[in-house]
Structure 1
Amino acid sequence: MKELRVSGPADILGFIPHALGFAPVRSFVFITVSRGRLGATLRVDAPAPATAPLDYAQRVTSYLAADENATGVLLAVYTDTETATNDRPFHAHVEAIIGELELAGMPLRDAWIITPAHWRNLLCDGDCGECEPQPLATITDSLLNAAMVFEGSNYQTPAPEFAPFTGAPGTEARILAAVPSGTMQSIAAARALWCLALEGSESPDEATALKLVATFQHVFVRDMLACDIVSDGTASPGDVILGTGGIAPDWNRVAKAEKIMRELVEAAPVGYRAPLQTLIGWIHFYRGTASAATQYYELALEDTPRYRLAELLSEVARRGAVAGVAQNPATAYRRKR
C-alpha cells in the first residue's frame, strides 16, 4: 500500500479500525508518533470504575514504551454512552496517562472521545471550536478512510461462528481412541502430524482431521502444538502463552494454523471444540485484538464449561494484558490490506 497522508483528527480516527481490523468499543486506543509519522497502535479495554488511575496509566505506558522511536502519543477513547459537550469521561485515568507519558518522554499530543453519536476533542478547554461535537460521518467520509477502502482494506470482522457438527455417528469414539497417551513417542507423533498439516498445501482429510482433533484434547500435547505454531520449540510454555521471551511469530504460519483449527472445530462434535476455539482466541490475543479473542474464549466455555485454558486467558484479557509480540513493532502483526 502506498504511503497515506493524515490531514486531521478525522483521518486518524478513520485509520484506527483499519489498523486494528475491527471497530473498537469501550476501548482506549493509543497510537505512537515519531517524526510526524504514525507508529504502533495499541488497544486496551477502557478502565473499570474501580481501576486505579495510576496503575492503569503505568501499565499502558509500559506497553507503549516498547516503541523505542516514539516521541509522542495520540489517544482515542471509545465509549458506548453519550456524553455532554463539557463532560470528560475517565478524567482521572486520562490525567494519570498524561503524567506517565510525560515522564516517559512521549507526551500525549492529542486525544478524542468517540460515542455512538459523535466525536470530539477530549483535551480542549471549551474556548475553541474544536470542542464542539462532530458527526461520525466526518470519520467515515475522511480522505484517509476512503483511500484505505479503495486500497482494499475492510475492518468489518464478523462475530465468530462455526457450523454445527454434522459428522457420522461414532465420531466421538474415534476421537477418544486417538487421544495421545502422553508417552514421548505419542507426543512426537502428534507434533509430527500437526507440523505436516501446517506445512502442507491441502486441508487435512477426514481421518487426519479427527486425529488432529484428538491430539488437541490432551492438555500437555495441546500446549506443545501451540508452541509449534509460534516457536521453534525452545520457548517456555509461559512465554508461548503470553508471547514473551523474544518470540517472533511467522505470521503466515500462524494464519495457516488458524485456518486449519477452524476446519477442525467443524469436524469436532460438541464437547471437543474448546481446545481449538481457545487457541484461535489466543491467536487473536497475539495479534493484539483482545475483544475478538474474548469471543472465542466464550465459545470454548460454552462448549466445555470451566475449560481451564479459556478461563485463564479470559482473565488475562480482563486485566488488559497485551501479548509481548504485539508490544514490539518488530514482531507485531500487520494486517494485509
Structure 2
Amino acid sequence: MDTTPLDPEPAPPPDPFKAKQAQDILGYIPHALGFVPAESAVLISLTGRRLGATLRLDLPRHRDADTLTGFADAAAGYLRRHRAADSSLLVIYTAAGWDGTPPAYAVLAHHLLAGLARAGLPVRDGWVVGPRHWRGLYCTDPQCCPDPGHSTDRIAESVLNAEMIYRGSQVAASPEAALGLPEAVPGWDRERLRTGVAEFAGNFTGNWTHPDTFRRTLGCWEREVTGGGLPEQDMAAFLLASLECTGVRDALVVQVCLGFDAAYGGALGSGLLTAPRPGTGFPAGTGTGLPEWEPDRSPGEYGSGFARILTGSTASPPDWGRVDAAAKLLASLYTAAEATPRAACGTILAWLEWARARGSRAQSMVDAVLGECADYRLAVLIHGLLASGVLPEWSFDPDTAWPGTAPRAA
C-alpha cells in the first residue's frame, strides 16, 4: 500500500468562500494543497454542505484487489479522523486509462467509494481530472460529460479560483516548487559564510552540549526565529555551525514548536547536556548573559514532552506562528549552507512540513537531503516516517492542525 506522500489540510474557518459548481471544487483543491496534484487521489470531508479536510495520496502502484482495498480503507481511516465529517467528495488525478471501457480509474474509484462508505463517509460526488480534461467519475450523459470531458480551462476560469488568486493564494506546479526555497540570500557572501561556519565549528566542537553553551546557543536561535528578518552573516555562520551538533538540532525543533523553556528543559531532562567545558567565541552582539530559565516541571516531564513533540505523539499543537517564521529562516540558511549544516537545515524543514501535514513537500525536502547526504541519520528516519504514512496527532483535529495560508472554501 502506497499512502505517501500524504497531504491533509485542516477544516475551513467560519467565513469561507462558496463552492457552487464542480469546477469551483476542482479549482479549490490546488489552493488547499499549494500545488497541482498528479497521479493522486484527493478526498475531501464534508460536514453537511461544508468542505472540511482535504487529503491527498499517491495512487497505488499495484492495482490488485487486496492492495486497492487496503489503500481505500487507509484513505478512509485518515479522513475519518475528521470527527465531524458525515460524507465526502472524491477526485482522482491521473493521465492514464481514460479510453478503456470501463476506464482504468473506475476500479480504483470503486474501492475508494466502498471504503469511504464503510467508514461512514459516503461519497456525494466525484470527478476524474487529467492533463487536459475532467469529467464526473460515473457520468454517462453526453450533454453533461461529453467524451473525453470538459476542458481543464474551465477549472482555471472558475469563480472560486479567480477569487482565491485575487486574495493572494498561489499554486505551485509541483511539491518541489511549493517549498519556495530562495535561490540566493542577498547580503551573504558564500565564501565568507563557509569560513565562518568552519571557524565556529572548530571553536565549539565537543562543547555545544555544555549547559551554559547550550542555553546561549538556543538564545541565539530564539532571537533569530522571533526577529522576523535574516541574521547578520556572522550570526548565520554560528547558527549553521551549531547544527553540526545533533543535540542542538533536535532541541531546535522543539524550541521552534514550543519555545525556549521546553527545548532547554527537554534537552536537560533527556540527558543531552554532557559536555564538560563551555564553548568560547560566540559571535559579536550575543551578549554575555545567559537566557533566564526557571524550570516549572521535573526533568522527566521535560524529557517526555521533548520526545512527544519530535514524534508527533501528542494532540497539543506547535505554535504555528513560530513554525512558519522558523521555516522561512531555515529556508534561507539551507540555501546558503553546505555539508552537514545544510543537511540539518533541510531535514528540519522536512520535519516542519510533516508537522504541518504537508507530506508531499516533506518528501521532496527529505529526498533532496538524502540525494546530497545519503547517510544523514535523521533524514533517513523521517523518510521512513513518511513511507509509513504516520502523521502527527495534532494534524487530525481542525482546532489544532496547522491553519494554512490559503483561503478556504465551503
Tell me the TM-score normalized by structure 2. Answer: 0.74
SS of the equivalent of 1:112 reads: strand
Q: CA deviation at 1:14?
A: 0.4
Counterpart AA for 1:216: L
| CA drift at 1:140 | 0.6
Q: Is the 8 A contact 2:98 2:105 kept in 1?
A: no
For 1:47 and 1:237, how far apart are their aligned partners in 2?
35
Counterpart of 2:324 (choices 223, 230, 255) is 255
* Deviation of 1:129 (Å): 4.5
Alignment match, 1:134: 150
The amino acid of 1:231's aligned partner reads: L
Distance 1:7 1:230 in 2: 37
SS of equivalent to 1:33: strand
Is the 1:43–1:289 Cα contact (8 Å) retained in structure 2?
Answer: no
Determine the structure 1 residue equivalent to 2:294: none
The 3 A distance-change label for structure 1 pair 129 and 183 is: farther
Mapped to 2, the partners of 1:226 and 1:66 lie a distance apart of 25
CA distance in 2 between counterparts of 1:88 and 1:319 reads 30
Contact 1:242–1:324 (Cα < 8 Å) also in 2: no
Q: Is 2:282 aligned against 1:282? A: no
Question: Which has the higher Rg, Structure 1 or Structure 2?
Answer: 2
Is the 1:61–1:104 Cα contact (8 Å) retained in structure 2? yes
Q: Distance in 2 between matches of 1:4 and 1:170?
A: 51
- Name the amino acid aligned to 2:120: G
Equivalent position SS for 1:52: helix
Q: CA deviation at 1:92?
A: 4.5
- Give 2:151's aligned amino acid: P
Provide the rounded CA distance (Å) in 2 between the counterparts of 1:87 and 1:231: 52
Deviations 1:31-65 (A, max 9, x none): 11112111111122222216822322222222212
- 1:22 alignment partner in structure 2: 35
Give the TM-score normalised by the residue count of structure 1.
Answer: 0.88
Cα-to-partner distance string for 1:84-143 (whole Å, 9 max, x where unaligned) = 26444354543333223222222111221111121112234x356445311101111111
Alignment check: 8 A CA contact 1:229 1:257 kept: yes
Where does structure 1 differ by over 6 angstroms across 4 or more consecutive aligned residues? none
Aligned residue type for 1:25: A
Answer yes or no: is 1:170 the counterpart of 2:170: no
Q: What residue is the counterpart of 1:39 in the other structure? A: 52
In the alignment, which residue of structure 2 is the partner of 1:264? Answer: 333
Q: Which residue of 2 aligns with 1:64?
A: 79
Contact 2:27 2:156 in 1 (8 A): yes
CA-to-aligned-CA distance 1:238-268 (integer Å, 9 cap, x gap): 5434433113122211111011112222442
Once superposed, what is the RMSD of the aligned Cα atoms? 2.7
Classify 1:3/1:329 alpha carbon distance in 2 versus 1 (closer, same or farther; 3 Å): closer
Secondary structure of the corresponding residue to residue 5 of structure 1: coil
Match of 1:330 in 2: 399
* 1:171 positional shift: 3.2
The 3-state SS of whatever aligns with 1:110 is strand
- Deviation per CA, 1:276-330: give whole Å up to 9, x if none: 0111122222223222222211221233222122222223333444343332211
Q: Which runs of 5+ in 1 are unaligned?
A: none
Correspondence list, 1:1-337, <5 A: 3-49=16-62, 52-81=67-96, 83-84=98-99, 86-124=101-139, 126=140, 129-132=143-146, 133-156=149-172, 158=177, 160=181, 162-163=183-184, 166-168=190-192, 170-177=195-202, 178-179=204-205, 180-231=207-258, 233=262, 234=302, 236=305, 239-337=308-406
Judge which range, 15-24 or 299-308, deviates more. Answer: 299-308
Identity across the alignment (%): 29
CA-to-partner distance for each residue in 1:202-259, whole Å, 9 max, x for gaps?
4322222222112222223211110111235356455434433113122211111011
Larger RCO of the pair (alpha carbons < 8 Å, separation 6+)? 2
> Which one is further off, 314-323 or 161-170?
161-170
**Cα gap change, 1:192/1:94 in structure 2, threshold over 3 Å: closer, same or farther?**
same
- Write the distance in 1 (CA, Å) between the matches of 2:211 and 2:95: 51
Which SS does the other structure have where 1:273 is aligned? helix
Which letter does structure 2 place at the counterpart of 1:138?
R
Amino acid at match of 2:198: A
Matching residue's letter, 1:171: G
**2:136 aligned partner, one-letter code:** N
CA, structure 1 residues 267+128, in 2 after alignment: closer, same or farther (shift >3 Å)?
Answer: closer
Contact 1:217 1:275 in 2 (8 A): yes
- Number of residue pairs aligned between Structure 1 and Structure 2: 336
C-alpha contact 1:272 1:303 (8 A) present in aligned 2: no
Partner SS, residue 36 of structure 2: coil
